[in-house]
Amino acid sequence: MNPMIPYGRQTISEADIQAVVDVLRSDFLTQGPAVPAFEKAVADYCGAHHACAVNSATSALHLACLALGVGKGDKVWTSPVTFVASANCALYCGADVDFIDIDPRTYTISTEKLAEKLAQAEQTGQLPKVVIAVHLCGQSCDMAGIHALSRRYGFSIIEDAAHAIGGKYQNQVIGNGRYSDITVFSFHPVKIITTGEGGMAVTNNAELANKMALLRSHGITRDPAQMTHVPDGAWYYQQLELGFNYRMTDLQAALGQSQMTRLDEFVSQRHALTQRYDTLLADFPLTLPWQHPDNYSGLHLYVIRLHLEQLGKTHSQVFDALRAANIAVNLHYIPVYLQPYYRRLGFKPGYCMEAERYYAEAISLPLYADLTLADQDYVIATLQQALT
Ligand SMILES: *Cc1c(COP(=O)(O)O)cnc(C)c1O
């Protein structure tokens, strides 16, 4: 049997290992110099003014919502086709979550659906405080369109770019903040670069950056300028807000900074593999990923959609045949509102039909920088068998 081929995995070099070992031999395993150095590397890459490294993208999304003032009774809207964290972060703040159906070609938030929903919400006084735009598979949402709507209706924008570091939108690096308040990246090992676990929020707004930095570490400051009175002594700190321990360690940050040096290479390798899938799968009864011309995707995922009416097989049969051949395909994602927790909040099947049609047909094929051509050929051959 072929060794297991995952849908995504990390690429670790000797230099990465050395970077982590160097931190292990240094004075600081956490709260040392590696975290600000990694933050600077990501902020510089993106062309953003500020960055806040944390222990996961989930934490970064939570801090981003809090920094934007999301609280009880507020409305936060996001895509149903995303990881649950994109919606949960708003619930952590006591807000209500709602979902905007996806575009049938890009699978990201449909700007038309968003515009319709905003017009209705304005009538009933239910406008969202924040829209979380998820760059599914690495492809940017229609940020110019969403941003124009934010001007008209007065909501803030978080880009959930967990899939999208290294990508571009309108020829500008994702994370530069041109069309949003805060952009969040994930460094989970299946994502484009990794720190083991980890995430980062980037922004051009100093006030938002300060809030996130404060909340990342218990709401505590050691900066006299932020204190309510002159420090009692050199030991002094103040807790100003109810924060969390969401800090990233220096071990993680050193790995992240070392990975950053190969980010562009990882994304080009993903592009080369994607082009190869596109060519070799062209005649299969599948819908292949469509790339909007405004977009240079980070290509976190390669999602195919089965033409079920043409196949004598079900979605599960094709999926199971790939899994049985030791190809760890996956499905990104089950529409969030179909989860039992969200159904208890009142959501019902049929709420976002485009998302549900996508869910009925989608499979994520293996895609990662180190995927060998031989393994990719095996995936394609196995898929061909599974489809016939
Ligand atoms: C992975 C992911 C997250 C959460 O990232 P973690 O770093 O695992 O917390 C959030 N949103 C999306 C779209 C993701 O894919």
Check residue 2 and give its pLDDT.
Answer: 76
Q: Quote the ligand 1 centre to 47 CA distance (angstroms).
A: 22
- The protein residue with its alpha carbon nearest to ligand 1, atom 6, reads 57
Q: Is 56 a pocket residue for ligand 1 (Cβ < 6 Å)?
A: yes
pLDDT digits (tens, 9 = 90+) for 189-237: 999 999 999 999 999 999 999 999 999 999 999 999 999 999 999 999 9
Instruction: Assess whether the C-beta atom of 379 lies below 6 angstroms from ligand 1.
Output: no
CB 116 within 8 A of CB 100: no
The confidence band for 304, taking pLDDT boundaries of 50, 70 and 90, is: very high
Going by alpha carbons, the residue nearest to atom 5 of ligand 1 is 57
Q: Given this model, what pLDDT does residue 27 score?
A: 97
Q: What is the per-residue pLDDT for 355?
A: 98
Fold of 5-260: Aspartate Aminotransferase; domain 2 (3.40.640)
pLDDT at 1 over 90: no
Atom of ligand 1 nearest to the CA of 136: 13
Cis upstream peptide for 296 (omega within 30°): no
263-387: what fold?
Aspartate Aminotransferase, domain 1 (3.90.1150)
| 8-state DSSP, 92 | H
Per-residue tokens: 82: 């995303």
Q: Among 156, 162, 154, 199, which residue's Cα sits nearest to residue 177?
A: 156
Angle in degrees, CA 268, 271, 273, rounded to 5: 115
Q: With residue 270 as reference, give the H or E element that holds it.
A: helix 263-280
Q: Give me 322's structure tokens.
A: 């790939």
- The average pLDDT across 339-365 equals 98
Nearest-atom index, ligand 1, CA of 198:
7
Q: Compute the distance between CA of residue 61 and CA of residue 254 in angstroms, rounded to an integer.
A: 22
Helix (H, G, I), strand (E, B) or coil at 50: strand
Evaluate whether 55 touches 31 at the Cβ level (below 8 Å).
no
Report, as an integer, the average pLDDT of 148-161: 98
CB neighbourhood size of 294 (10 A): 15
Question: What pLDDT is recorded for position 180?
Answer: 98
What secondary structure does DSSP assign to 127-139, as a single string? --SEEEEE-GGGP
- For the chain, the domains span 5-260, 263-387
Average pLDDT across the chain, whole number: 98
Average pLDDT score over residue span 280-304: 97
Binned at pLDDT 50, 70 and 90, residue 352 comes out as: very high
For 19-63, the pLDDT digits (tens) are 999 999 999 999 999 999 999 999 999 999 999 999 999 999 999
- Can you give the pLDDT at residue 50? 98
Q: For residues 248 and 195, what is the distance between their CA atoms, to the nearest angstrom?
A: 9
